[in-house]
């Protein structure tokens, strides 16, 4: 048997990049996978096809994670469609980088809505369905600990908020046997931050291991957190950044 046989996982932003790699890895480990997308329906459908080819159930849902009602509705539909819920991966996020004077209140509200409020809303809605052994894993960013460039203060703040949220919710969820943890990736080779992008050489110069990680490397860490092997790990922040913050 695979580590996650019989489990159902939900992955927000699971159509591409880190989220897509996580969705596929959880399926490889035995889970059926529901994922959300907002702007990449074809990528999401490719992920579904790939997961189904492994013999797992999969479905993609169009959801704006900034809409609390939509998130609640999605989780309810997933439980109805798949019959249970075991793993929630809060992966969806946005990045807005501007000089301080150019940020608007709309920018502030949007980044908090997606990067912080959506994580809380999804976790709150999912917790109702999770049983002993349930897992919640949130994808943050090393920018929560290290902001190496200007214009990223709002993004860094949104990711650092997840540290406190994770620690606090670990106390709420632990008595029921549910763990919640936070993963802080460093430079990862994705469409939004490619290893051959305009800032890649600068970022590589900050790494102890001078290369970008593949999304699958982050997915491997998430898969471990989703498994029974991590049962005594909760409220933790695990950094996977090639020494970026060393």
Q: Tell me, what DSSP letter sits at residue 117? A: I
Sign of CA dihedral 116, 118, 124, 129: negative
* Alpha helices, DSSP H, located in 32-117: 41-53, 68-82, 105-112
Those residues whose C-beta lies under 8 Å from the C-beta of residue 214, and which sit 6 or more positions away, are 21, 188, 189
Rounded CA-CA distance 176/174 in Å is 5
Known catalytic residue at 212: no
State the catalytic residue, choosing from 37, 155, 212, 244. 155
Sign of CA dihedral 108, 64, 194, 162: positive
Which active-site residues does the annotation give?
A: 155
């Amino acid at each position: 048997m695979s580590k996650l046989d019989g489990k159902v996982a939900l992955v927000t932003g699971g159509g591409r990049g880190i989220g897509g790699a996580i969705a596929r890895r959880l399926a490889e480990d035995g889970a059926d996978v529901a994922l959300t997308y907002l702007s990449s329906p074809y990528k999401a459908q490719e992920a579904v096809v790939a997961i189904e080819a492994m013999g797992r159930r999969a479905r993609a849902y169009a959801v704006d994670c900034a809409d609390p009602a939509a998130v609640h509705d999605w989780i309810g539909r997933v439980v109805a469609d798949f019959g249970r819920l075991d793993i929630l991966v809060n992966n969806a996020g946005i990045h807005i980088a501007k000089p301080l004077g150019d940020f608007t209140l709309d920018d502030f509200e949007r980044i908090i809505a997606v990067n912080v409020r959506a994580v809380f809303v999804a976790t709150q809605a999912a917790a109702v369905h999770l049983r002993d052994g349930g897992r919640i894993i949130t994808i943050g960013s090393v920018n929560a600990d290290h902001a190496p460039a200007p214009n990223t203060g709002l993004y860094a703040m949104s990711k650092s908020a997840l540290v406190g949220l994770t620690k606090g919710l670990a106390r709420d969820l632990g008595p029921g046997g549910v763990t919640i943890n936070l993963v802080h990736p460093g430079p990862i080779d994705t469409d939004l931050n490619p290893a051959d992008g305009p800032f890649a050489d600068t970022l590589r110069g900050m790494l102890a291991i001078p290369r970008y990680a593949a999304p699958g490397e982050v997915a491997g860490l998430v898969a471990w957190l989703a498994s029974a092997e991590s049962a005594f790990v909760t409220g933790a922040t695990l950094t996977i950044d090639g020494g970026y913050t060393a």
